[in-house]
Amino acid sequence: DARVTQTPRHKVTEMGQEVTMRCQPILGHNTVFWYRQTMMQGLELLAYFRNRAPLDDSGMPKDRFSAEMPDATLATLKIQPSEPRDSAVYFCASGLYPDSNTIYFGEGSWLTVV
Amino acid sequence: ELKVEQNPLFLSMQEGKNYTIYCNYSTTSDRLYWYRQDPGKSLESLFVLLSNGAVKQEGRLMASLDTKARLSTLHITAAVHDLSATYFCAADLYNNNDMRFGAGTRLTVKP
């Protein structure tokens, strides 16, 4: 059963700490997305990669957020330093472009910064 | 900037009734996506609409796309409680699968 896997599922951290979220896209998918969901802002596209190259990270606060794909099976989203306003659910999603237009979401990483 | 607007944002329905959720978007994209999200869960893909006039149906849900009007609709037929969820539409910015989401419609189906 192919699925997008995210870790950690839940994270509580103190303000100022570094947070790293990881995503394993569906095997063979060439496009990976990072979304953030909050009650106030809804679902926001933070960044996405195709064939491991960043295509758009304009939705990501550059001063504290960074996204990378060290290899085709791993995407990371890092926040350093974290702030309470970063509390949200972070979703990773993957797809196979252009063969398929269906994007599959992971279960999300629930982040609370206190 | 791409804008994706859904209405209504909240919808309370009686079982057995019909209703339509509307999704307006501001780009010339010809792709439109519908997702479902249950509370505390991930997003589940419902439909991908790829061209003007596209219509897709799955069970009690039917989605359509009018690219000239930049409008998609999600029609619910004879609602049942299991359809209670939040429904999101999303549009591509560059026909690149880079979806921008609407605010979502929280649907509650009451007995």
Mean pLDDT of A95-108: 94
- What pLDDT is attached to residue B93? 76
Q: What 3-state class would DSSP assign to A86?
A: helix
Most B-contacting residue of A40, A41, A43 (CB-CB within 10 A), to test interface = A43
- What pLDDT is attached to residue A80? 98
Contact: A105, B104; criterion CB under 8 Å: no
* Minimal Cβ distance to A101: which of B31, B43, B104: B31
Q: Evaluate if residue A6 carries a pLDDT over 90.
A: yes
- What pLDDT is attached to residue B30? 79
Mean pLDDT of A45-55: 96
Q: Evaluate if residue A111 carries a pLDDT over 90.
A: yes
Non-local CB neighbours of A25 within 8 Å, separated by 6+ positions = A4, A32, A72, A73, A75, A92, A94
CB pairs under 8 A between A and B: 45
Angle (CA) A98 A100 A106, round 5°: 115
- What pLDDT is attached to residue B1? 76
Q: Please, are residues B22 and B6 in contact by the beta-carbon 8 Å criterion?
A: yes
Q: Classify strands B71-76 and B61-66 as parallel, antiparallel or unpaired.
A: antiparallel
Contact: B100, A97; criterion CB under 8 Å: no
Q: Please, are residues B10 and B85 in contact by the beta-carbon 8 Å criterion?
A: no
Q: Evaluate if residue A1 carries a pLDDT over 80.
A: no
Non-local CB neighbours of A101 within 8 Å, separated by 6+ positions = A95, B31, B33, B48, B50, B97
- What pLDDT is attached to residue B38? 98
Contact: A42, B104; criterion CB under 8 Å: yes
Indicate the average pLDDT of chain A.
Answer: 96
- What pLDDT is attached to residue B46? 98
Residue A16 DSSP symbol: T
Contact: A108, B103; criterion CB under 8 Å: no
Residues with pLDDT less than 50, chain B: none
Q: Classify strands B32-37 and B85-92 as parallel, antiparallel or unpaired.
A: antiparallel
